[in-house]
Structure 1
Amino acid sequence: MGPEIADPARTAGTTMVALMATQTWESAREGMVALWRRFQPERAEAVGGELEATREDLLLAQRSGDTETEAELTAEWQARVRRLLVARPEVADELRRILAELTPALPEERPTTGIRLRAEASGNGRVYQAGRDQHITERPDR
């Protein structure tokens, strides 16, 4: 297997797992499911479910600081895309198009050090903490 298959598979797996924890996740998921729907329609729904399961695993791993699981999930999706490319080499152009659309949505490099937050609130106090961006929309009690 040459770089014409290995490189796009590696990029696709890495990109998909990186986008699973972002706001553009739905777009990324839909792009990959559409790819399978077009080239292996019998697997498209299963792939959508597998992507969702992977996302749940990733989010759990990130909450617990488990970087090994993230690497395993990335390798798993790289292998799935590689198998698709081996079975259907014509997928490569469509995959490159999808990746080009998704690449600007990739998160910046995450810090390699862990972040620990601790807070206490009492009474009617509120605590808002984030390791990155945080957006809060206050809604008045009704």
Structure 2
Amino acid sequence: MDPEIVALASSAGTTIVTLMATDAWERVRNAITSFWRREHAERAEAVAAELDATREDLLASSQTGDQDVEAELQAEWQGRIRRLLATRPGVAEELRSLLDELAPDAGAAPQMTQHATASGHARIYQAGRDQRISER
């Protein structure tokens, strides 16, 4: 199989599953379902249900601490996307565009580096984002 298709399917599966546990979930679900509807209309509702089931599995695994589930779910979606691209290679560019829109890094803040030095009884609290400190 074309290595580009395999790489694209791998990226898509990882992106889809990674975003399932974020605020972008509804957007991802709608985008992937619409994509499938255009390419395999007869499978679109089944794919939507599979997305929902995958998300439920992912959320349940995060509560139980099962770290292998995410990789397994990513592999499942990589396979689904790879099979779609194998039968319809012409949709690869559209999928790339969709992934660019959905990618977790899209619009992310630039990387930052923080340095601090403490002495004596000083305390330093640094965060790149949200921080909650509860001292008693």
If the length of structure 2 is used for normalisation, what is the TM-score? Answer: 0.76
| Deviating 4+ runs (over 2 angstroms) | none
1:66 partner SS: coil
Distance (Å, rounded) in 2 between the aligned partners of 1:80 and 1:100: 19
- Given that 2:9 and 2:78 are in contact with CA atoms closer than 8 Å, whether structure 1 keeps it comes out as yes
Aligned to 1:46: 46
Gaps of 5+ in 1: 109-131, 135-142
Q: CA 1:99–1:52 in structure 2 vs 1: closer, same or farther (change >3 Å)?
A: same
Name the count of aligned residue pairs: 110
Aligned to 2:119: none
Aligned to 2:37: 37
Percent same amino acid among aligned pairs?
Answer: 58
Whose radius of gyration is greater, 1 or 2?
Answer: 2
Gaps of 5+ in 2: 109-128, 132-136
- Given that 2:15 and 2:104 are in contact with CA atoms closer than 8 Å, whether structure 1 keeps it comes out as no
Aligned to 1:65: 65
- Given that 2:21 and 2:59 are in contact with CA atoms closer than 8 Å, whether structure 1 keeps it comes out as yes
Distance (Å, rounded) in 2 between the aligned partners of 1:8 and 1:101: 14
Query: Which residue type is aligned with residue 55 of structure 1?
Result: R
Distance (Å, rounded) in 2 between the aligned partners of 1:30 and 1:93: 18
Distance (Å, rounded) in 2 between the aligned partners of 1:91 and 1:29: 18
Aligned to 1:22: 22
